Amino acid sequence: MSGNKEESEVEVKSVFIGAGCNRVVNNVSWGASDLVSFGSQNAVAIFCPKTAQILTTLPGHKASVNCTHWIPGTKFAFKAKQLDRHYLLSGDTDGAIILWELTLAVKKWRQVLQLPQSHKKGVTCITGIMVSETDAIFASTSSDGTVYVWELVLPSTAGGECKLSCLETLFVGSKPMVALSLAELPGNSGHMVLAMGGLDNKIHLYCGERTGKFVHACDLKAHTDWIRSLDFSLPICNDEANSILLVSSSQDKGIRIWKMTLRGSLTNNQGTYRKEEISLASYIEGPVLVAGSSSYQISLESLLIGHEDWVYSVEWQPPSITSVEETTYHQPQSILSASMDKTMMIWQPERKTGIWMNVVTVGELSHSALGFYGGHWSRDGNAILAHGYGGAFHLWKNVGVDVDHWQPQKVPSGHFAAVTDIAWARSGEYMISVSLDQTTRIFAPWKNSAFLTDEESWHEIARPQIHGHDINCVAIIQGKGNHRFVGGADEKVARVFEAPLSFLKTLNLATCQKSSFPENLQVDVQILGANMSALGLSQKPIYVNTVQETPERNGNDGLDTLESIPDAVPVVFTEPPIEDQLAYHILWPESHKLYGHGNELFSLSCDHEGKLVASSCKAQSAMVAEIWLWQVGSWKAVGRLQAHSLTVTQMEFSRDDSMLLAVSRDRQFSVFAIKRTGTDEVSYQLLARQEAHKRIIWSCSWNPFGHQFATGSRDKTVKIWAVEQDSSVKQMMTLPQFSSSVTALSWVGIDRQSNHGLLAVGMENGLIELWSLTINKSAAANLAVRFDTSLCHVSSVNRLSWRNPEKSEECRRMQLASCGADQCVRVFDVITK
């Protein structure tokens, strides 16, 4: 995957994508391709469970993605052995559904089509079945009260196209359906059954033929709250080819299993109806479903009680192969359920009595979690995946040989709301990101990973701050000593954090001892970790010499409440941590609070020497729009710079730290001269202030080799300016107009002698371009590369940042990080030729 092929100067490759899952039910699907799809803001993200990496994001939706569904899914993996292409359906909150195609051999994605008939409101569920190797039927439902049933004929040859036809449109009234499941009726009748459930607490069954025309057959009434999930087993269950099972779950915390048994033909009188033994099921007989010439007796097979909160999803274990020739398949009697009580359970009938029991329970212990939105099986039934309220995935694998032993596994992770800012560690060992999801996260390449690939793989290795306010900005303190950063959120205080010993040791393991803060200097660090406060604001340190065993809890303590947050247990990780560990065991202690601003913090910047931090806040008057300067170490306010009348959107110190550049919503930039006169004193002087653009200026960046800088604005332009010898500022050039508002800029030097560099430009539409700039007496610019849309964000790019910019002259391979409103953090390899 690379940038635009027309331009040959620069090549771009995707190295890492970090993204959280949209917090909705039916958002995740595990396919027969053994890949997992999920919606992340307006993009469909694809991840590989084996490597725990997000492989790509698919741009195309104009609204948040609500649900995804693979064709074939894990249930039909046995029909997908010969398929070289797999398909994926995704639906969004605007009602649009898109069909995607994945060619397995070359791992290439393409958007096939958008369904012509879109729902009027958000799509809430998509379900589909494979009728044959080239024929699929799928249904979609929406909060507009309609259910569409479609037939999708897959191409039988390599270059063929998909054929799509709408079989039926069903109107379900004012109470929408939120759960669907399709199945072929047993007995080869050529009929299908569609189960739907939703806000009226009933399961509605519709019958139809392959050609369409679904008619309402009957209702199943038993649940006492909204139906949340439905799933049919395959008709090879229990060695009875004439019955299928339907499992349903609800907000009434219960799970019900319904049996549909073929009663015989209504046209022949040969008495094919076999009398079953008298069992409990025969006393709980429900309605009879008539489909064409066949009828099916429906009975309640079992009621599963065990969850303590809403059960959001239930799913049958995919069929397993029972013969060596891979011709016969067996549907296991095994159901996976996921609930808001923070647990997933596997249910199976007891061998002797046939009573369904909970045989496995897994869950997340994090106090910050609010439960699971869905659970899914892998195609071989040896792994289960959950996604939850915190936008996080949880994967367990059965590693037992003779007995089941489910162990948590590493999964991709990321923010579940817009990512507002990113910054690289001073030597580039890791990247820190902050988000409106109220967390600060650290992503790093893990070198000694035990994964199958030899290359370093990127993972989230720490979550230094879990806050009670949306976080808007971050700045890493440069210079020597321990790792520190300043964070600014929707509050008037900036907070300073310092790395604890547990993180430093983990970082040493991840980087193979190449950390910029080596072990011989770590002896002075007396803080092992940090504890979360009950309100999630300040994080208190845990000191090395006061670590005690956590007291054992009484059995009747129940789950953690907000007031009784358990003590963190700081750990040194030898492999990338999983969500439960990230949730509160690796917080950084807060060392200082910086009071001064009158409104919520908006922007932060640290100088290259690590002596000064500049901060700004949201402002609508000149008084509030002051830039504050803080001295690193003493954390005293040493300057209040006045130049703007509205919010200062970004600030940056020049490479020699002699100037501070600021840009603002008032369409002006300002340049200050900064001088350190004594140990504690800083003098500053406004050199220039100028209205530079017709709209808000969102971003700015200095040329690393001189006193030239770039500004980018909502007016879709980027301008290059130079600070002259007499301290005046003149415009050198304007780049050709861009397709969208310019929201992020980052300038990196490539050749000091010719004053040549690359300017990364990020836009509101999510696209990124690299411009080659050469600055002499005049400026020369040309487009080096336009990133392929499959590599880019799908919403506004909020920040761009180059890794190790001071080393960029030495190597032709550089790395660029970006973050955006689409919840994504991305790292790119940029190779100059």
Give the span between the Cα atoms of 266 and 268, in whole angstroms: 6
Q: Provide the token pair at 645.
A: 């009348």
Whole-model pTM over 0.85: yes
For 684-725, give the DSSP string: EEEEEEEE--SS-EEEEEE-TTSSEEEEEETTS-EEEEEE-T
Q: Is 381 left (phi over 0), alpha (psi -120 to 50) or beta?
A: left
Provide the 8-state DSSP code for 475: E
Give the span between the Cα atoms of 16 and 456, in whole angstroms: 11
Strands 254-265 and 659-664: unpaired
User: 3-class SS at 409?
Assistant: strand
Classify the C-alpha dihedral 543-544-549-555 as positive or negative. positive
Give the span between the Cα atoms of 329 and 349, in whole angstroms: 19
Q: Provide the token pair at 522.
A: 């770590």
Are 525 and 517 in contact by the 8 Å Cβ rule? The answer is: no
Give the pLDDT confidence score for residue 459 in this predicted structure.
93
Which residue stretches of 490-625 are H helix? 501-510, 579-584
Residue 737: CA count within 13 A, CB half-sphere: 6
Give the pLDDT confidence score for residue 314 in this predicted structure.
96
Give the span between the Cα atoms of 149 and 168, in whole angstroms: 5
Q: Provide the token pair at 821.
A: 């409103």
Residues 6+ apart with CB under 8 A from 171: 145, 146
Give the pLDDT confidence score for residue 514 in this predicted structure.
60
Are 445 and 456 in contact by the 8 Å Cβ rule? The answer is: yes
Locus of tokens 């789950």: 559
Give the span between the Cα atoms of 117 and 95, in whole angstroms: 9
Are 114 and 100 in contact by the 8 Å Cβ rule? The answer is: no
532 CB burial (10 A radius; 0-12, 13-18, 19+): buried
**Nearest 5°: phi and psi at 259?**
-110, 130
**Terminal Cα-to-Cα distance of the chain (whole angstroms):** 17
The closest of 266, 265, 248 to 257, measured between CA atoms, is 248
Residues 6+ apart with CB under 8 A from 344: 336, 337, 338, 361, 362, 363, 372, 375, 384, 386, 396
Residue 778: CA count within 13 A, CB half-sphere: 4
Cα→Cα distances 182→234, 311, 368, Å: 10, 20, 36
For 441-471, give the DSSP string: EEEEEETT--SS-SS-EEEEEEEEEE-SS-E
**Nearest 5°: phi and psi at 555?**
-60, -25
Classify the C-alpha dihedral 447-448-449-451 as positive or negative. positive
Q: Provide the token pair at 641.
A: 């710079």
Q: Provide the token pair at 82.
A: 């010969």
Report which secondary-structure segment, H or E, holds 280: helix 280-283
Q: Provide the token pair at 768.
A: 């990124």
Strands 202-209 and 135-142: unpaired
Residues 6+ apart with CB under 8 A from 657: 607, 608, 609, 611, 612, 674
The closest of 418, 409, 365 to 391, measured between CA atoms, is 418
Q: Provide the token pair at 58.
A: 């698919």
Give the pLDDT confidence score for residue 416 in this predicted structure.
93
For 96-162, give the DSSP string: -EEEEEEETTTTEEEEEEE-SS--SS-EEEEEEEEEETTEEEEEEEETTSEEEEEEEE--SSTT---
Give the pLDDT confidence score for residue 555 in this predicted structure.
40
**Segments of the chain scoring below 50 in pLDDT:** 1-7, 237-238, 265-279, 281-283, 449, 451-453, 547-564
Q: Provide the token pair at 609.
A: 């020497």
Provide the 8-state DSSP code for 583: H
The closest of 145, 265, 248, 251 to 205, measured between CA atoms, is 248
Q: Provide the token pair at 253.
A: 């915390």
Report which secondary-structure segment, H or E, holds 282: helix 280-283
Residues 6+ apart with CB under 8 A from 523: none
Give the pLDDT confidence score for residue 415 in this predicted structure.
94
Are 474 and 434 in contact by the 8 Å Cβ rule? The answer is: yes
Cis peptide before 287 (omega within 30 of 0): no
The closest of 384, 399, 388, 322 to 347, measured between CA atoms, is 384
Give the CA radius of gyration of the chain.
30
Q: Is 121 left (phi over 0), alpha (psi -120 to 50) or beta?
A: beta
Strands 825-832 and 10-18: antiparallel
Are 299 and 280 in contact by the 8 Å Cβ rule? The answer is: no
Strands 97-103 and 85-92: antiparallel
